[in-house]
Structure 1
């Protein structure tokens, strides 16, 4: 029987490298929402068609991620990381060249596949490099991804607004670097697996949660997925569609609107970074509750305030609602500590899936009920986050020997 080993020494260069790779991966994903204004103005797509593009991208990635995570728990696949980014490279290249709606839908499948392969294996690399700093490692990893997503409005404002759809090809430069970087990380990953095989020791996650029955774990996961659903649905509305509300309701330019969306996402990156390390100190559940209670009134009031207040509210909401982003992944992994890849795939994949469904529903609502009505309805979603109070209480990681 293999011995189980909890590694306590963090490998910071790998933690940072996989975070950079995550940034590049999610920058490629960010190209799609960044192109929504281009798709609407140049290709004449409806909000529903735009929502379908996001749906195809995210639901495909959502469905595949748990599968990849489950397989990698049984047989890790180090070189799947650069292969996945090659798939994303192909998707971006096709999108830069086509004006056909159906080809765009096919191209985003390549992006979805690349994302589905990257996230579970990337999370596993983060875990292997984390040592005793699980919250910090997951934060660095997720900061990379959220930073890439945050670039979407800037890409829209300063690349697509100038170069049009073909500007997507510029991202391929970063993608090439990402493929090289992931090849190096995959080599380190493979060596770690070989060392574990020779030593007959296996890394395991030491959970901060008390012993739970299978039923309690199931209930906790259901609560956690509901939280991820509400958060993903709400943030998808802000990142993909709120720019149209800004342009329609406040009469701002597309460029200014995209800069304001970037502000929301950039402060979300800040929240993500501090959330993981904070959860190591005060506990995962406490951080999740913090991310629920404090931004709640600002979410509810956002559709009704003036422009200057909306900017301030976007900063507050972005920072606080995303504090729990990396924490929910770690919390799920600690609920089922023997399935690191599977739980990373389920939580991240579920977030992608809810974002996909959210994009479809919001697009249809905006087409049929109008922008203002849609924003008012979506502003109520964060109320669902209050179920975080019913999650099992954990101990701060710093108190675990």
Structure 2
């Protein structure tokens, strides 16, 4: 199996998993409508999925640094789907939290190992990693439409139908795992994509930038559908479309980020993207009416162009701990950002949703400032490819 086919299948599998990350926010309007949950209550559901997932991802990343665990890909995909599938079948808030948390654990287990596998399959290409990230973003984008279609068929009690993407994703990853094992020798071989000194200072700085990005993205994704309904007067359809635009723009942004990183360095591309995000997020919060969709799309592009670049930057800052780096940049930092969602919900319950969302404008400023001092790792070279040893044992680390 060639590199393009492997990356394409991994991207589709990534989409099947990230449907369940996007599904949590997409279910929020339906929880509000059918169960009369308040802003803070539904924010707690989003937090249950994101926080547990984020804390667990570095743990799974550290485990995959010690020993590759390719079996996690199909198993975690099914677990992630099962949690969301069960989330709508009970009227208990406690059980709903348990089920979305179960989905979060599945997502957590998937991402570090899938990022390691994708980096091996891509042979260090930033554009190929952008395609892999594209799959996840398309999954996010599909989630609101998929959830809306299922809910239209019978409300929250129909959520068991949402398990089917997980079943498809689990099957699609199997031939890729076999191909990567043959190419890199399996077992301990091929676990690392680069070797060198770990730059923990730059990695910590990058992590704080990703946290700031996560605050604004998760804050918007949690409340955007409800906010657009209020600002545009277009009802639930307008809210679903806005959430779809937020996620779909990310799919485009991840590809653009990979292309731009082949022309300029990753740090410069990410820093410029956060400048765009400052204006875009301000537009979402301030501009009323249908024009808000334009700023939603710009926000999505601005926040997602750096996304896959931040993952590979983290891997290059910690070349001997690729799984840990992936777990933190894809997980822990995202979940810490998600802690802000209940705060936004609490403030919205006491003021207005617009007032509660206004502080999010500052978050891209924080990311931009943090990226100003970051170096471009020496593991990359012009042409957008990182050096990847064909085979090197990780034993004795």
* TM-score after normalising by structure 2: 0.89
2:171 paired residue number: 180
Kindly indicate whether residue 304 of structure 2 is the aligned counterpart of residue 322 of structure 1.
yes
What are structure 1's unaligned runs of at least 5 residues?
1-8
- CA distance in structure 2 between the partners assigned to 1:386 and 1:30 by the alignment: 25
Q: Residues 196 and 243 from structure 1, CA distance in 2 versus in 1: closer, same or farther, beyond 3 angstroms?
A: closer
The DSSP-based 3-state class of the residue aligned with 2:193 is coil
Q: CA contact under 8 A between 1:53 and 1:108: conserved in structure 2?
A: yes
Q: CA contact under 8 A between 2:212 and 2:337: conserved in structure 1?
A: no
Deviation for aligned residue 1:323: 0.2
Residue-by-residue CA offset, 1:97-130 (whole Å, 9 max, x unaligned): 2121111111112201111110001001101101
The DSSP-based 3-state class of the residue aligned with 2:382 is helix
Q: Residues 265 and 89 from structure 1, CA distance in 2 versus in 1: closer, same or farther, beyond 3 angstroms?
A: closer
Kindly indicate whether residue 246 of structure 2 is the aligned counterpart of residue 261 of structure 1.
no
Q: What RMSD in Å do the two structures reach over aligned CA positions?
A: 2.3
Please, which of 39, 46, 54 is the counterpart of residue 46 of structure 2?
54
- CA distance in structure 1 between the partners assigned to 2:127 and 2:354 by the alignment: 39
1:205 paired residue number: 193
Deviation for aligned residue 1:268: 1.5
Q: Please, which moves more after superposition, 34-43 or 323-332?
A: 34-43
Map 1:306-317 → 2, pairs under 5 A: 306-317=288-299
The DSSP-based 3-state class of the residue aligned with 2:242 is helix
Kindly indicate whether residue 111 of structure 2 is the aligned counterpart of residue 119 of structure 1.
yes
1:389 paired residue number: 372
- CA distance in structure 2 between the partners assigned to 1:23 and 1:267 by the alignment: 15
Deviation for aligned residue 1:394: 4.6
2:138 paired residue number: 147
**What is the number of equivalent residue pairs in this alignment?**
383
1:159 paired residue number: 150
Structure 1 ranges of 4+ moved more than 4 A: 201-204
What are structure 2's unaligned runs of at least 5 residues?
388-397
Q: CA contact under 8 A between 1:302 and 1:379: conserved in structure 2?
A: no
Q: CA contact under 8 A between 1:300 and 1:380: conserved in structure 2?
A: no
The DSSP-based 3-state class of the residue aligned with 1:390 is coil
Deviation for aligned residue 1:162: 4.1
Deviation for aligned residue 1:161: 3.7
Q: Please, which moves more after superposition, 301-310 or 231-240?
A: 301-310
Deviation for aligned residue 1:66: 0.7
- CA distance in structure 2 between the partners assigned to 1:264 and 1:85 by the alignment: 23
Q: CA contact under 8 A between 2:250 and 2:305: conserved in structure 1?
A: yes
2:72 paired residue number: 80
1:305 paired residue number: 287
